[in-house]
Amino acid sequence: MAFPSDLVRTKNWGTEVLTDSDLEGQFDLIINWVMAALNATTGHAHDGTSNQGPLLSSSAVTTTFGNGFTTVSAASGDYVLIATDVSDSNKTKKALVSDIVTLAAPTAAAQSDQETATSTTLMVTPGRQQFHPSAVKAWANFNGTGTPAVTSSYNIDSSITDNGTGDWTLSITTDFSATNAYAITGCCINSGASTPCFVTIKNGTTLAAGSVNVQVWRSDTAALQDVTTICVAMYGDQP
């Protein structure tokens, strides 16, 4: 910022008498100029030009991410100032850019990485987490009374087949890699009844890659039974 012209005063020291008001006026102007130069938003620019202070860094770019990281782009010979918080007594620290350790950009795990399941450095992303062998590939909670219906699910179609009492077929949206190449767990609840039930896969069938035939039985008479809540979860390999 330019030095104001009204602060440049010529005094005729031979004839003119300097009064108090002259001094106060000059001091006020000087203080106003200094305060303006120190203003938090409109003060000097530190760009290395006249009255703007020395150049601090003309190329630094700061980006703050939602995950708590802040990145600073600066030339290798520059210093980066790090403002700390009250936990560190608000001490500001500096680091030479060339001394800062380079972090490799995080790499997302591919489907094959998930399936190999050995990496401890790759990032798991939501769209591929299910490819890990331990992950559930499909699950469903469905009502087997009246007109059967899928209540909630993942990777299970809303379509459902009523094959008879206690006997339903569910279909899988993204099929498994092969027939009989996956595992299923299941449980059931017969709301309002005292006799427990159990879930099986229909005898004599195979685990088709894209569908599964589920049956529910009474635990006392081993008769097929319609129940209010059947839950199944499936694990295995998907293409």
Nearer to other proteins, 148 or 186 (CB): 148
Beta bridge partners of 139: 154, 233
Query: What count of Cα atoms within 13 Å lies in the side-chain half-sphere of residue 222?
Result: 0
Q: Rounded to the nearest whole angstrom, what is the least distance from the CB of residue 170 to other proteins in the complex?
A: 9
Nearest residue (CB) to other proteins, 160 versus 199: 160
Which residues of 106-239 form beta strands (DSSP E)? 138-143, 149-154, 156-164, 167-172, 182-189, 197-201, 211-218, 229-236
Shortest Å, Cβ 214 to other proteins: 13
Min. distance of Cβ 211 from other proteins in angstroms?
4
48 or 210, CB closer to other proteins?
210
CB of 40 to other proteins, least distance (A): 58
Residue with Cβ nearer other proteins (73 or 145): 145
CA separation for the pair 46, 48 (Å, rounded): 6
Q: Which residue ranges make up the site for other proteins (CB under 8 A)?
A: 147-149, 157-165, 169, 171-172, 208, 210-211, 226
CB of residue 165 to other proteins, shortest distance in Å: 5
Enumerate the H helices of the chain as residue ranges.
20-37, 111-116
For residue 132, the one-letter residue type is H
Q: For other proteins, which is the closer residue by CB, 109 or 227? A: 227
Q: What is the token pair recorded at 85?
A: 């918080």
